[in-house]
Structure 1
Amino acid sequence: MERRHDIDWLRVIAIILVLYFHTAMIFTAEWDWHIKNDELSYLWLEFNFWLSRFRMPLLFFISGYGTYLALRKRSPWKYLKERNNRLMVPLIFAMIVIVPPQVFFERLFNGATMSYASFWPTIFEMTPYPEGNLSWHHMWFVLYLFIYSAVLLPLFLWLRKDKVKNYLNRLIEKHSWISYVLLIVPTVLIYVTFTVYTNRTNALIGDWGWMTYWGSFFLAGYFAGITPAMWKRIESDTRNLVGLALHSTIILNYFRWNRVELEGISETLYLILLAVSGWLWLLSMLSLGKRYLNKPHPILAYANRAIYPFYILHQTIIIIIGYYIVTLVDEGILAKYLFVSTISFILSVAGYEYFIRPFRIMRFLFGVKELPKKEKQKDFTKLEERAEFKAA
């Protein structure tokens, strides 16, 4: 099976969008976050509302598809061992080293006066955030991935059996529209009957509604892996999917902007549209990606290894830079946003290039997969050539 470069591109794009989403949270009206600018914007709220339709669903879907690829080549035990090394090790490291500065600067923003040296030991009091200072913050995504990977493993092993895969592919080849039913309906049912009645906490305990919702996209990504017939339908429907996604957002915003009172059946239909809109945007991204992004590029080869450390680092950098910008700089929202997002992007890439990529222990702590020996040699040769060029 040839490598799907479009999936790699979409993973990179989705995580970069996370950086711009989190930067916008500093300036977004109505939505709370760790630090906030004095002046807030409803336009940034609209930007983040649109991204929120597909940002996390796309990441969970791609992760589910990656699970399918991983299980094709590994035994269940080897798969779980790799998941532990790539997910739980970076999570624990981040909770001790990467996340605490976020909590510290949030405390400073809210008026606390302390040094980081006196703050850091308090995380070992094991009092969960927000009452205490121990938190995983944005690394909740990594924890949820590990849980899905372990809990759903028996189902994945059953789905990958030839008789199951063959049946599903024959069914979709005969009735291709069924692929949309199998993907969308479970998510809509979960969202309308369960998720909307729970608070999203990202704290695992008490977050069952949203954890189940995100898990449906993870499972859908694995399902997409075992049903190549589904991709043919998605790729052929690009125009329709993009059009429906745009119209779903227009309809949602009509109700939101006009503050239409909804109750009973109208409220249920609105909630269904919210869930369906997320899928339409997700399927549009997959369709466009399959059509236009399924090609290799040197930038993609680098980004594939850099993007996970980039994700781990980005929010800490945003909060630190954002803290100084919103408290010390008297500028407009757009100037602040562009400055924080650009500097955070540059520092996240630089953090990987200079402090993670060159050191094996750092690559391990940040979950970077080691290159095969041949690729390592090529990578080392490039470094030598770069050094010789600089020396010249």
Structure 2
Amino acid sequence: MQRRHDIDALRVIAFSLLILYHSAMVYVADWDFHIKSTYLAEWLQYPMIGLNRWRMTLLFMISGVALGLAGVEGRRWRFAGSRSVRLLVPLAFGMLVVVPPQTYFQVMTQSGYTGGVGHFYGLYLTHGLCRDGHCMLTPTWNHLWYLAYLLPYTLLLLMAVPLLRWLRERLGDGEPTRLAAGLLLVLPVLWLLGVRLWLAPRYEESHALVGDWTVHAESLPLFLLGYVLATRAGFWRWVQRLRWRTLAIALVAISTELGLRWLGHHPPAGPIPDWAMQVPWYTIERVARVIYTWMALLAIFGWGRALLDRPFRWLPYCSEAVFSWYILHQTLIVALAWWLIPMRLGAALEASLVVAGTIAGCLLLHEMLIRRVAWLRPLFGLKPAAASRPAPDAPPPTAPHPRPGSRPA
């Protein structure tokens, strides 16, 4: 049996990118965030768009793959209970303890709040943060919305296991046929295009769980698809074999989207030809966007399978640490930015200190405190210390994956 190190590694990498992404939110022009630097750059929008298109869909799909590899079919309801506790406890702790400093620094910088921490916390707990008729919904989960979505998605998946297993068995273990490969390449793109053209204009992304139909329509199907494809050895051989082509298509697609966005903000001088006025540029941009999203996911999985499916020495430690880093990172970013911005250190130095300080803070808090204090571990999504160390003859904690050509148990 073979452990899927590539899925573990991709999960660590995807969560780590959130530190760079949310740090950049402090500096990107025209995008709202809890705190903004005086050093703003429009050009940051372009690499961030390139990352934004797949960063959360990748995490949801990886979560579905992990469930597919975990073999939960025979213990669905026991797993539902343990997963609910493991997600709800960090979510509640995060909303009550980790997230409030973000809101505190936000209302101080954006709303001129001058009260103390104790007064603020009372308002935070009682939905009392109102100014000029505008109220903030608190307590809030802010960047922890992924946990709030992952729980109902998991429960829905567990209820749908009989149907999903049937679909998985119909796919077989071999590489997709020409028809199946065409459907795998086209159908997700068409679905995502429908979401972008029909749902997104009607339902703005809110991360509020209830009524967030655009996010649900993008994330939930990919989460379920990850479960279905998790143990299909032929699919993983296929994405690995196609990784150069999917990467090339993804690069062309994102270049098209970003190029059209740039032209929209910087139109050429002089009159615009009549034919250009008739071209549906918005639709072309949406098509390029969804092609990029799906091709990037396929390329990431293909390259991950080719380069990351090996027992890196850093992987077990990082796999455990990534949850606490995820919970901590945005609060550290906002706090560091609030402290550094008045110093006027210059854009490069300030941003470097925000990123470096966030990494150092996550590392120190996880290593020196969270992983060593038994009662803190479940608050940050970590298993009890004894449970996190498998016995010498025990199977690896990540569910196994059949070697190519073998049949799953």
Q: Structure 1 length as normaliser, TM-score?
A: 0.89
Task: Please identify, of 256-265 and 187-196, the stretch whose mean Cα deviation from structure 2 is larger.
Answer: 256-265
Which residue does the alignment assign to 2:116? Answer: 115
Question: Against the structure 1 CA distance between its residues 217 and 289, is the aligned structure 2 distance closer, same or farther, given a 3 Å change threshold?
Answer: same
Which residue does the alignment assign to 1:343? Answer: 357
Question: Against the structure 1 CA distance between its residues 165 and 136, is the aligned structure 2 distance closer, same or farther, given a 3 Å change threshold?
Answer: same
The alignment covers a number of residue pairs equal to: 375
Which residue does the alignment assign to 2:380? Answer: 366
C-alpha distance in 2, partners of 1:334/1:211?
37
> 2:368 is paired with a residue of what secondary structure?
helix
Would the aligned equivalents of 1:191 and 1:213 in 2 still touch at CA under 8 Å?
no
| 1:220 correspondence with 2:236 | no
Question: Against the structure 1 CA distance between its residues 73 and 81, is the aligned structure 2 distance closer, same or farther, given a 3 Å change threshold?
Answer: same
After superposition, what is the alpha-carbon deviation per residue over 1:221-262, rounded to whole angstroms, capped at 9, x for unaligned?
A: 112214332111110011111111111111112211111788
1:265: Cα distance to partner?
A: 4.4
> 1:177 is paired with a residue of what secondary structure?
helix
C-alpha distance in 2, partners of 1:323/1:340?
10
| 1:167 correspondence with 2:170 | yes
Flag the structure with higher helix content: 1
Which residue does the alignment assign to 1:210? Answer: 215
Question: Against the structure 1 CA distance between its residues 120 and 128, is the aligned structure 2 distance closer, same or farther, given a 3 Å change threshold?
Answer: closer
Task: Please identify, of 98-107 and 267-276, the stretch whose mean Cα deviation from structure 2 is larger.
Answer: 267-276
C-alpha distance in 1, partners of 2:174/2:279?
36
Which residue does the alignment assign to 1:302? Answer: 317
Moved over 6 A (4+): 260-264
1:353 equivalent among 367, 388, 395: 367
Task: Please identify, of 227-236 and 64-73, the stretch whose mean Cα deviation from structure 2 is larger.
Answer: 64-73
C-alpha distance in 2, partners of 1:128/1:151?
34
Query: Within 5 A, what are the aligned runs for 1:243-254?
Result: 243-254=248-259
Which residue does the alignment assign to 1:9? Answer: 9
Query: Within 5 A, what are the aligned runs for 1:52-131?
Result: 52-72=52-72, 74-110=74-110, 111-126=112-127, 131=136
1:235 equivalent among 236, 240, 249: 240
C-alpha distance in 2, partners of 1:335/1:74?
53
Would the aligned equivalents of 1:64 and 1:222 in 2 still touch at CA under 8 Å?
yes
After superposition, what is the alpha-carbon deviation per residue over 1:239-292, rounded to whole angstroms, capped at 9, x for unaligned?
A: 111111111111112211111788884422321221121112222111111001
After superposition, what is the alpha-carbon deviation per residue over 1:187-235, rounded to whole angstroms, capped at 9, x for unaligned?
A: 3333332134321111123322222212222122112214332111110
Which residue does the alignment assign to 1:387? Answer: none
Question: Against the structure 1 CA distance between its residues 357 and 251, is the aligned structure 2 distance closer, same or farther, given a 3 Å change threshold?
Answer: same
> 2:176 is paired with a residue of what secondary structure?
helix
1:198 equivalent among 200, 203, 210: 203
Which residue does the alignment assign to 1:390? Answer: none
Would the aligned equivalents of 1:128 and 1:135 in 2 still touch at CA under 8 Å?
no
Question: Against the structure 1 CA distance between its residues 72 and 151, is the aligned structure 2 distance closer, same or farther, given a 3 Å change threshold?
Answer: closer
2:333 equivalent among 289, 310, 318: 318
Question: Against the structure 1 CA distance between its residues 74 and 363, is the aligned structure 2 distance closer, same or farther, given a 3 Å change threshold?
Answer: farther
Question: Against the structure 1 CA distance between its residues 290 and 127, is the aligned structure 2 distance closer, same or farther, given a 3 Å change threshold?
Answer: farther
> 1:286 is paired with a residue of what secondary structure?
helix
Q: Structure 2 length as normaliser, TM-score?
A: 0.85
1:330 equivalent among 344, 349, 371: 344
| 1:25 correspondence with 2:30 | no
Letter in 2 for 1:335: L
Which residue does the alignment assign to 1:385? Answer: none
Structure 2 unmatched runs, 5+: 268-275, 393-409
Task: Please identify, of 137-146 and 77-86, the stretch whose mean Cα deviation from structure 2 is larger.
Answer: 77-86
C-alpha distance in 1, partners of 2:41/2:374?
43
Task: Please identify, of 66-75 and 354-363, the stretch whose mean Cα deviation from structure 2 is larger.
Answer: 66-75
Question: Against the structure 1 CA distance between its residues 74 and 241, is the aligned structure 2 distance closer, same or farther, given a 3 Å change threshold?
Answer: same
After superposition, what is the alpha-carbon deviation per residue over 1:69-125, rounded to whole angstroms, capped at 9, x for unaligned?
A: 234465111121122122111101111111111111111112110111221122321
2:297 equivalent among 282, 287, 293: 282
Which residue does the alignment assign to 1:144? Answer: 149
> 1:205 is paired with a residue of what secondary structure?
coil
After superposition, what is the alpha-carbon deviation per residue over 1:31-72, rounded to whole angstroms, capped at 9, x for unaligned?
A: 111100122101222221111021111111111111212344
Would the aligned equivalents of 1:200 and 1:210 in 2 still touch at CA under 8 Å?
yes
Which residue does the alignment assign to 1:273? Answer: 288
